[in-house]
Amino acid sequence: MFGQRGAEVVEVHLAFPGNGARLQVNELSDLKEQLPDHGRGTGIFTWLEALDSYADSTVARKSSGGWNNEKGLAVTRSGQRSAWAPLPRGPIGALLDVGHLVGQVTGTLDALTALDLPHDPLGVPAIGLDPATKISYGSVAASGNTASFGHRQLDHVHVAPDEAIEYSAVATRSAEVAAELGPASSPTIGP
């Protein structure tokens, strides 16, 4: 959805089933100016990365470009928060390591819940891999990948969220939430 420049990215989304997180259009414009510091302070972006900005009546978004290194942070008018970052690189393209993925998703959930924005009592976390055409399954610590995927692979993998959970649980137990979301992506594309 967000990765446009060649990188296979992990997308993490936090949506809300009610209207309690909804933002006004002027709040999106203000948020456009706040996202760089928030993204840098939470490790989504480095302090030296150049960032592209965008805001309209539906979304505020900051992203960094670069071949195989696209990262970003977005908030929609409905209050959905999203962030994306590249998967680690392996010898054969991007590498899906479930253990590493859980850590990456944990940090992203922490960044999304640290945004000082209204929210509903319930949140719906979701994860996606996009594009998923050149992802290898293996270990970041190992020198080789265990399997590679190519032209018959799906364009993307989005794990359908199956439940809304308490927002406070996402904010305070992000590692547990990530441990459920991360492995859910691997049966679809794993060995």
User: 42 CB contacts (<8 Å, ≥6 apart)?
Assistant: 107, 110, 111, 114
Report the pLDDT value the prediction gives residue 191, as an integer from 0 to 100. Answer: 38
Chain mean pLDDT for the chain: 81
pTM of the model: 0.84
Report the pLDDT value the prediction gives residue 2, as an integer from 0 to 100. Answer: 47
Asked whether the beta carbons of 69 and 86 are under 8 A apart, the reply is: yes
Is the confidence at residue 50, as pLDDT, over 80? Answer: yes
Is the confidence at residue 34, as pLDDT, over 80? Answer: yes
Report the pLDDT value the prediction gives residue 188, as an integer from 0 to 100. Answer: 46
Closest CA to 145 of 102, 66, 91: 91
Is the confidence at residue 41, as pLDDT, over 80? Answer: yes
Q: What would the two tokens of residue 139 be? A: 């270990």
End-to-end CA separation in angstroms for the chain: 24
Report the pLDDT value the prediction gives residue 186, as an integer from 0 to 100. Answer: 54
Report the pLDDT value the prediction gives residue 158, as an integer from 0 to 100. Answer: 55
Report the pLDDT value the prediction gives residue 116, as an integer from 0 to 100. Answer: 94
Report the pLDDT value the prediction gives residue 94, as an integer from 0 to 100. Answer: 77
Is the confidence at residue 189, as pLDDT, over 50? Answer: no
Ranges of each domain in the chain: 9-189
Q: What are the C-alpha distances in Å from 111 to residues 24, 73, 86?
A: 22, 9, 16
Paired residues of 51 in beta bridges: none
Which of 2-11, 44-53, 115-124, 182-191 shows the lowest mean pLDDT across its residues? 182-191
More confident residue, 6 or 72: 72
Asked whether the beta carbons of 100 and 91 are under 8 A apart, the reply is: no
Question: pLDDT tens across 116-156, in order?
Answer: 999 999 999 998 887 766 777 767 776 555 554 443 455 55
Asked whether the beta carbons of 17 and 129 are under 8 A apart, the reply is: no
Q: Which amino acid is at 48?
A: L
Mean per-residue pLDDT, 147-170: 66
Q: What percent of the chain has pLDDT over 70?
A: 77
Report the pLDDT value the prediction gives residue 24, as an integer from 0 to 100. Answer: 92
